[in-house]
Amino acid sequence: MVMSRSFSKCFCESLFILCLASGLTRPVYAGEAELNQNNIDNHHDINKLLSCLNLNAPGLEKVKSSVDDPQLAAKELLAYYRARDFVKHPVDRQAKPEMLGKCASMNDISEAENAMKHIFVGQPAYPPHFCGEDINWNSRPVPDMEWVWQLNRMGFWQSMSLAYWHTNDEKYAKEWCFQFVDWTKKNPLDKEHDYAWRSIEAGIRGHSWTILFQRFLDSPSFTPEVLVAFLNCCHEHASYLMTKYSKGSNWGLMEADGLAFIAITFPEFQDSKKWRDEAIMRLNTEINNQVYSDGHQRELAIGYHSGCIGWFTRSFDLAKMNGQANAFPESYNKKIEKMCEVLMKLGFPDGTTPQFGDSWTGTPGHIWESLRNWAQLYHRDDFLYVATEGKEGKKPDATAFALEKSGFYSMRSGWDKNSICLVLKCGPDGGGHCQPDNGTFELYAGGRHLMPDAGSYIYSGDPKNREWFRQTKVHQTLTLDGKNSTFSPKLLLWKPGTDLDILVVENKSYQNLTHRRALLFVDKKFFVIIDEAMGDATGPVDIHFQLGPGSVVSDYKNFSACTNFHDGWNVLVQSMKQKGMNMKDEEGQVSFLYTKKEPRPAFSYGLQKNTKEQETRFITIVVPYNESQPRIKVRLTGKPKIGSSHMELKIVTNGISKKISYDL
């Protein structure tokens, strides 16, 4: 619309200049002053771009010889890019005809149709929003800043590009070209437009725009003017990203990823090599800085961990496609493989993941597609086994895994959907996406998330709820006076076995109180948890538990609570009776989707620690079961002191007695 109008203006102007130059006279029309201005602007843009390109690069001869005629140079440059085939990209322009009717989902089409009408998706948990006939890229329909930040990632442009290839309907390309130029005009890189220029959005755009380039370049709507705006803005992005390096977090990877994609896709820029080297240096540095030797990314939120696998892999793959894999050491790829293992080790049997920190458990099976790809890439039969629910590949050689540096531990009875699986977290401070939850765990059994983590609900615009979901006391761990704990983890014992897995961890949760938690997976059927509060602190000491949404049967006299599903699996939690212990209901909420939450049962067991010396210990069973509830009793034998390195337990299950001991 505006695009074609302004471009035809440019051609009129060229003609006008030509007339003047040849000394011909013609009448002056109203509006020509404006036309002239546009012409100058456009020339300025073209000249700016030309000054950033290496015009001596092979193939750019015609562009170089046209520099005195900027319009022609821009046309020649477009012709060069359309003919260029030495740069490889995951989106292959040659594949467009094969994609007819095959590459867009219903959702892509509907998002694209909305986008045609300027009804855009920002943060996708909120409804799409009409951003004006004259688009306001700073629209804020909700208080959550994520909306406007994510609006400026323009994810809907990907849908428009898919819809374009899917239907070959030029309207998508025409509108995208208009919106693209509109965005670049309205969002200069300055303080006033900082909502559009967080470094991660710039990084995300740097990557995604190269995809859009591949999909729209051959469209007749992709005029020289669009190309000039596009490349100038890519140059601006790369230059900006050179100055932004968020070390130690996923941000740093998105910044590097955007930089790498611009640099490798457009080697014609004079600075491309510098950008590429910087991006690859950052990725090589960050894979060592951010990934523990056990494979987990340091922010300790599995969603971000998975994202980081993607960011580390994408630039590496692009470099490989373009014959530049040697810029990465062999260890780089090995480390990515180790990161992929984490999903197998910590994933639940239904293909979902724990939602510790700012993470989301996801839809069932969501990790399987990735595992299937990685199985092929890394020749991993165990990944394939998990990805195909045991139909192909080879069963992983263990059922219990310790990620000792990041502090994740998983125990499972098997790999099929009905298996029992518990994942416990007791790790270092992972920063803003990590919560003060050391000692907490999630339990899955029989196809149900019986004790899920509360999740995180929201990032911005609702600090009260953001804070609520972060609290230590809404996690399945121990608190002093209900306060948030600190991170100071220690692994004391990891001893997996055929019929007993033992884990003992400790966290110096408060200045003068350490929480030691022993977790025993008995007969691969149920869990015994021994919690000890060690230290000089006094005050109320509580251990907290939360169930999945649904009703609960509580027995305060016997200190037990269980879920109340009428069919399938349930879970029983019971703390062994002791003097002075109380059982209380607590506020319970769980969020499985951004901005969505629901109530769920939650309760705690409490002891008042009145003196420094007072021994404070809880012995609790967590028993997932199908059909009838087993009768289980646990007691410690002897009278071990708090913090004792030798423990002996007597466990009676349905009348059958068993002794277990461990030494630290």
| Partners of 505 in beta bridges | 491, 517
Q: Does 435 bind Ca ion (CB under 5 A)?
A: yes
Least distance to Ca ion from the beta carbon of 50, Å?
53
Bridge partners, residue 478, by sequence: 543
CB 354 within 8 A of CB 340: no
Q: Does 476 bind Ca ion (CB under 5 A)?
A: no
Q: How do the residues of the chain divide into helix, strand and coil, expressed in percent and rounded to 5? A: 40, 20, 40
Considering only the stretches 83-91, 324-332, 451-459, 590-598, report the one whose residues sit in contact with Ca ion under the rule CB under 5 A: 451-459
User: Could you give the residue ranges of the DSSP H alpha helices within 270-361?
Assistant: 272-290, 302-321, 330-346
- SS3 for 532-580 is EEECCCCEEEEEEEECCCCCEEEECCCCEEEECCCCCEEEEEEECCCCC
CA–CA gap between residue 657 and residue 635 (Å, rounded) = 11
Q: Shortest Cβ distance from residue 253 to Ca ion (Å)?
A: 23
Of the residues 81, 304, 444, 594, only one is catalytic, namely 304
Nearer to Ca ion, 42 or 435 (CB): 435
Residue 223 or 479 having the CB closest to Ca ion: 479
C-alpha pair distances (Å), 87 with each of 267, 279, 319, 324, 325: 8, 18, 10, 11, 14
453 is a site residue for Ca ion (CB under 5 A): yes
Q: Which residue's CB is nearer to Ca ion, number 210 or number 435?
A: 435
Per the annotation, the verdict on 81 as an active-site residue is: no
Of the pair 343, 434, the CB lying nearest Ca ion is at 434
Of the ranges 154-162, 395-403, 430-438, 651-659, which one interacts with Ca ion (CB under 5 A)? 430-438
Supply the minimum distance, in Å, between the C-beta of residue 4 and Ca ion: 52
3-state SS assignment for residue 260: helix
Nearer to Ca ion, 410 or 435 (CB): 435
The smaller minimum CB distance to Ca ion, of residues 128 and 436, is found at 436
| Closest distance of CB 301 from Ca ion, Å | 9
Q: Give the integer Cα–Cα distance in Å for 380 and 394.
A: 9
What is the smallest separation between the CB atom of 255 and Ca ion, expressed in angstroms? Answer: 27
The identity of residue 338, as a single letter, is K
Q: How far is CA 105 from CA 167, 204, 373, 558, in A?
A: 12, 22, 21, 53
Q: What would the x/- binding string for Ca ion be over residues 175 to 204, using CB under 5 A?
A: ------------------------------
Residue 70 structure tokens: 């900027």
Token pair for 99:
């994609």
Total of chain residues touching Ca ion, rule CB under 5 A: 2
* Residue 254 CB coordination number (10 Å): 26
Distances (CA, A) of 335 to 292, 341, 354: 9, 10, 22
Structure tokens at 154: 């323009």
Binding segment (CB under 5 A) for Ca ion, from list 88-96, 223-231, 448-456, 553-561: 448-456
Question: CA–CA distance from 314 to each of 159, 256, 336, 520 (Å)?
Answer: 20, 11, 11, 40
For residues 122 and 588, which CB has a smaller minimum distance to Ca ion in the complex?
Answer: 588
Smallest gap from residue 239 Cβ to Ca ion (A): 39
- Please give the DSSP secondary-structure letter assigned to residue 87: S
Nearest to Ca ion by Cβ — which residue? 453
Q: Smallest distance from the beta carbon of 337 to Ca ion, in angstroms?
A: 28
Give me the active site residues, please.
304
Q: Which stretches of the chain bind Ca ion, using CB under 5 A?
A: 435, 453
